[in-house]
Amino acid sequence: MRVLGKTQTEVCATFHRNRSLWSRLVIGVIYSQSHTSRDHRERILKPVSLALLLTVSLLHAADAWPQFRGNPSLTGIATSSVPKTLKLIWTFEAGDSIESSAAIVDGTVYVGSQTSELIAVNLADGKLKWKYKVNDGIGESSPAVQDGVVVVGDLSGVVHGVSAQDGKGIWTFAASSEVKASPVIVDGKAIIGSYDGNLYALGLKDGKVAWQFRTNGPVHATASVAAGLAYISGCDGVLRGIRITDGKEMVQIKTGSYTGASPALSADATYFGTFDNVVLAFNLKTKKPLWQYENPARPFPFYSSAAIVGGKIILGGRDKFVHCLDAKTGKELWSVQTRSRVESSPAVVDGRVYIGSNDGRFYVLDVSTGAKLWEFNAGAPLSASPAVAEGRIVIGSQDGKLYCFGA
């Protein structure tokens, strides 16, 4: 969405940078109400009020993390600033492993766990709001939230639509095999894959199948969305672009690589790591490869999904490193070694990279240099990915703890 020539993210960033200016504007509007004629007030108030309401609504909508990777393009970019100095605000005990990545909307954190529960807790204090029981554990499927509906898949193959307000079930859909992919919600449809080989489009309000597309292998990746297409990097070695309106395949690119990571989209390119130990980049218009990267010293698979920021591709590897690559060339710009495999996908905000590692540590890195700025020892693997909203960061661990960091 564009407002006065600016994107939603740019508008919100401008708001954050100029809060005092907006405050003076509001005060000026209030002053004008009491010190000018009615006709003059209306001429002033109508355009100013519209601008204020539009900006505030955009800020409210943007200051959320409604799905895996934060947005439908799966870029991992946060629109909410976070404190440079973090501290642990609260911890919630879920009772079993959290591999699902949280969603944050309207002051509520939604996340799944291996306790076979989707939970909702207050972002402010970590207090439980509700629990919703699913058929089997929730693995890596991460909730998506829109229009008061929370969507998530479980390991029995059931996709659930749940009321965000009270945790009551709205609908269920049974696929033929486990669901580890995360949903992405677009145009009133929840797009989600299953290990039965299908990518499904389900009605957000009723869970009815709008269409399904059959691939030649499990659909583990979360779909990324751009220009009316849902892209999946498949376990069948094919990158596909499926039209959201009717489920027709519009793009097919043979990658030749078994892929578990989800594709991140930027302009006309996509980036993702593979189980063939390489990171791939493709031009979506020409359908030609741009480059591929492999760590020559430690050839291991890439399971982490990439973040895209400032011409950089950042992702974790099972080689124990966090890698930063040049988006145009694939050349490594920096790498940071952790103590175990990195399956968590990074979030990026204000020049900082936030990412977990299976070594049990949550890392904050400088996006330009890779310099380690801070770390927190959770004591258990962090394979889930961080969610960022309202000035806070939330991430779950494999010992069942949900952590919230802020000021």
* 112-139 pLDDT tens trace: 999 999 999 999 999 999 999 999 999 9
If you search the block for the tokens 């207050």, which residue do you land on? Answer: 122
What is residue 177's predicted lDDT score, i.e. its pLDDT? 98
Token couple for 270: 């996509």
Please say if the pLDDT value at position 401 is more than 50.
yes
Burial of 53 (0-12, 13-18, 19+ CB in 10 A): exposed
- Under 8 Å between Cβ of 167 and 133: no
From the CB of residue 122, how many other CB atoms can be counted at a distance below 10 Å? 15
Phi-psi region of 244 (alpha: psi -120 to 50; beta: other; left: phi over 0): alpha
Residue 312 to residue 300: CA distance in whole angstroms: 21
**Cα 74 from Cα 71, distance rounded (Å):** 5
Q: Round to whole Å and give the CA distance between 143 and 152.
A: 5
pLDDT value at position 52? Answer: 38
For CA atoms 70, 164, 404, 13, the dihedral sign is positive
pLDDT digits (tens, 9 = 90+) for 61-85: 469 999 999 999 999 999 889 999 9
- What percent of the chain lies above the pLDDT cut of 70? 85
Q: How far apart are CA 145 and CA 164, in angstroms?
A: 8
**What number is the average pLDDT over the span 378-402?**
98
pLDDT at 81: 93
Provide the token pair at 137: 């554990």
First to last CA, the chain: 31
Q: Which residue has the higher pLDDT, 380 or 34?
A: 380
Q: For residue range 240-296, what is the model confidence (pLDDT) as tens digits?
A: 999 999 999 999 999 999 999 999 999 899 999 999 999 999 999 999 999 999 998
Question: Based on the number of CB atoms within 10 Å of its own CB, is 317 exposed (0-12), middle (13-18) or buried (19 or more)?
Answer: buried
Q: What is the pLDDT of residue 234?
A: 85
Q: Which residue has the higher pLDDT, 279 or 2?
A: 279
pLDDT at 62: 63
The pLDDT value given to residue 355: 98
Query: Rounded to whole angstroms, how far apart are CA atoms 186 and 147?
Result: 11
> Is it the case that residue 235 has pLDDT exceeding 60?
yes
pLDDT for 267 equals 86
Residue 15: the pLDDT is 38
What does pLDDT average to over the chain?
A: 88
> pLDDT digit string (tens) for 83-117?
999 999 999 999 999 999 999 999 999 999 999 99
Task: Decide if pLDDT at 11 tops 70.
Answer: no
Residue 229: which region, alpha, beta or left (left: phi > 0; alpha: psi -120 to 50)? beta
Tokens 């950042």 sit on residue = 314
